[in-house]
A and B are shown apart, each in its own frame.
Chain A
Amino acid sequence: MHTRFTSASAFLVVAVLVLSLGSGVAHGARARHVDEIETLPENEDEQRLWDIASGHENNIGNEGRLIRDREMEAYLEGIAERLLQGRLAHLDIEIDFIIVQNNLLSAWVYPYGTIAVNTGLLAGMENEAQLAAILAHELSHFMQRHSYRELISENRQSFIGKGLGLLTTAAVAAKTGVVDTGLMKAGGMWTDLVTSGYSRKNEHAADAEGLELMAVANYDRAQAVKAFELLKQNDAYGVVSPALLWSSHPTLDDRIDNLEKAVAREQRRKDHRPGEVPQSAAYYRAIAPALLRTGAQDVNERYFERARLAFQKYRDARPDEAQGHFLIGETYRLEAPDGPDFESRMAAYQAAIAAEPEFAAAHKELGLAHRQQGHTEPARAALEQYLALEPDAVDAGIIRWYLDGL
């Protein structure tokens, strides 16, 4: 049930929260790099900032958008450890990851060090070094405490205003007992808060330190340029809010340009080490569940080309599995059920059968594709094979009826 009651007391709560956060800002304070401090959060203001962010993170879970996959999380943690090389050991902080079901190529960091990574970002990168570049950038935002730095900067009023939008909604919701997901818009609000809240200076600072982290971890820094270029893919797909997009940052092209220059400078150094570019197939294997989810979501949203790309990556990661081949075939079928291109889908179904001869769904779709084209005998052979493998399939009676009519 979804009911909301306005009342003077709810507004009072909101007003108190507005005043408490607004008045508590430490004017003139400096947000030091985590290397220079011993505890986090450093003060009550920063704690409040963490609370706001935590509310946002919780809301993503409440909305059912969290992908809980321990293997993928561990993989991401491993990349973070490689980038950090124990650099946070002096703080009681662990870098955690949450994986969010969203096809936008995006990631963001909460001020307490949890990094949110969209499935779309995982699927959109082409190797581990590219993903490491994005994670290194987010880790740098965290280490330089950019959320808090923005809070106490000259632009703090704007930032506080954004934060209070979230806090106010949460407060009203808490008071009335109503979770209004329409109002919370959590994913967008925090992303807006952190991404559009970061100044150009802070973005460049995160880019620079991100490259340093990549160098220490022995990742090829040129992959950072490629990673940021891949983020431009967002432009080609449905966009909810400009603030959600990395590419909406007015400086994305500038940043790519800056990164290119920084990498080129580095490559000219005599002691330059190129760094590692891990194999794509290994990367795709590590994030395979994200590829399936991204592909499925893209099919639902009719982004068939991108869905196909995700499934092709999955197939490349696991060529011996029928699933990847079959799903590629399904993208062709669903995109153009009447053809005229039947060859692409049939080739994919045949590849699925070659990988796993007992993969019944591929036999069925192959048979139906033949039937659609009037290829009686191949249709019969494939559909009979389907029934042999799945005699109790829910549609077995329908398939038998088709066979009778061939």
Chain B
Amino acid sequence: MGSFRLLAVLIVLLPVAGAPVAADESPYRVSKTAFRERIGSLALTPLYAPEMFAVSDGVRELIEAEVSKRFEKTKIEVLPLETYARVRATLADQIGGIRDAGGTIDPARRAAVWDHAKREMRLRHPVDGFAELSITLVRASFRDDRAEWDGVKQKVQHSGDGFALFGGRDYQGSIAAASFQLAIFDRSDELLYLNRGGIEVLQDREGSRLVLRDADGFFQDEKRLRKAVQLAFKGL
């Protein structure tokens, strides 16, 4: 997908994008003790990433494998995400897939498949809850061309400062970034745990403007991806 279209989407989405998780904010929405009492087993959902991120299969597999590895270190029993993926695939087959004739995801079809998949998972698998994995768009705060959000820092690439570079101009604000998000719900969809780990900044600064990077260049740094997953599990 071209960057122009992605930019348009980002402009729409930025106002509603999630705020980064504050460093001192607990990821638990109930007490940790209550969480442990309520969640002994989980079904993992396949990684969700908006199409605009153009996430490759390789990136998806890396993140999902990292998540499975991280869950092994917890005392939570996990139903592999392939189980959930199979249910979704089976249901999607019943309605001819979730994409329209042009190959674009049809939101209504996807919503139907996701809704029924959750119902089927509840019906067939007595897990205590669901762990939803996603890559999300967030607003990272930046100052002096350094962005900081969801437990990570990153230098903002910049150009076009000219003489202003010597004028001590202090650029600051918020910039589009991506984070890995782990959300754990109980069987009735009550959110019990939400945490994010920052992956990378999605914009560069050109003078006083923020410009979206080409989506083809997103998520190339494996180390940052693994770190993002690790951060989202912090506290679990």
Contact = CB atoms under 8 A, between A and B. Distances in A.
Nearest to A6: B170
Contact of B95 (A3, A181, A396): A396
Contacts of B175: 2-3
Interface in B182-209: 187-190, 208-209
Contacts of B95: 394-398
Given A394-B109, A394-B112, A398-B112, A5 B173 contact: yes
B104 interface: no
Contacts of B208: 3, 5
A121 B139 CA distance: 33
Contact of B172 (A5, A181, A182): A5
B174 A401 contact: no
A89 interface: no
A2 B14 contact: yes
Contacts of B115: 395
B108 interface: yes
Contacts of A372: 119, 123
A338 B123 CA distance: 8
B3 to A, nearest CB: 14
B171 A2 contact: no
Nearest to B10: A1
B94 A400 contact: yes
B91 interface: yes
A336 B188 contact: yes
Interface string A1-28: 1111110000000000000000000000
Contacts of A182: 19
Contacts of A4: 172-174
Given A1-B11, A368-B119, A395 B112 contact: yes
A398 B91 contact: yes
Nearest to A3: B173
Nearest to B115: A395
Given A395-B112, A401-B94, A6 B172 contact: yes
Interface residues of B, number: 33
B15 interface: yes
B91 A2 contact: no
Contacts of B209: 1
B210 interface: yes
- Most chain B CB within a 10 A radius of its CB, from A368, A394, A398: A398
B190 A181 contact: no
A337 B96 CA distance: 27
Nearest to A302: B190
A6 B209 CA distance: 14
Given A302-B190, A335-B188, A400-B94, A1 B14 contact: yes
B60 interface: no
B32 interface: no
A334 interface: yes
Interface in A372-406: 372, 394-398, 400-401
Given A5-B208, A394-B95, A397-B96, A338 B15 contact: no
Contact of B122 (A3, A181, A337, A394): A337
A163 to B, nearest CB: 25
A74 interface: no
Given A4-B172, A5-B172, A398 B116 contact: yes
Interface in A255-311: 302
Contacts of A338: 122, 187-188
Contact of B210 (A3, A302, A337, A401): A3
Interface string A311-335: 0000000000000000000000011
A395 B189 CA distance: 21
A376 to B, nearest CB: 14
Given A181-B15, A335-B188, A397 B123 contact: no
A338 B128 CA distance: 11
A37 interface: no
Given A336-B188, A394-B95, A3 B174 contact: yes
Interface in A157-196: 178, 181-182
B235 to A, nearest CB: 22
B6 to A, nearest CB: 13
Interface string A331-354: 000111110000000000000000
Contacts of A6: 170, 172
- Most chain A CB within a 10 A radius of its CB, from B15, B173, B175: B173
A178 B172 CA distance: 12
Given A4-B172, A4-B173, A397-B94, 11 more contacts: A1-B14, A2-B174, A3-B210, A4-B174, A5-B170, A181-B15, A337-B119, A337-B122, A337-B187, A394-B95, A395-B116
Q: Nearest 8 CB-CB pairs, A to B?
A: A397-B94, A3-B173, A397-B95, A395-B112, A4-B173, A401-B94, A2-B174, A394-B112
23 contacts: A2-B175, A3-B171, A3-B208, A4-B174, A5-B169, A5-B170, A5-B171, A5-B172, A6-B172, A182-B19, A302-B190, A334-B188, A334-B189, A335-B188, A337-B119, A338-B187, A372-B119, A394-B108, A394-B109, A397-B95, A398-B91, A398-B94, A401-B91
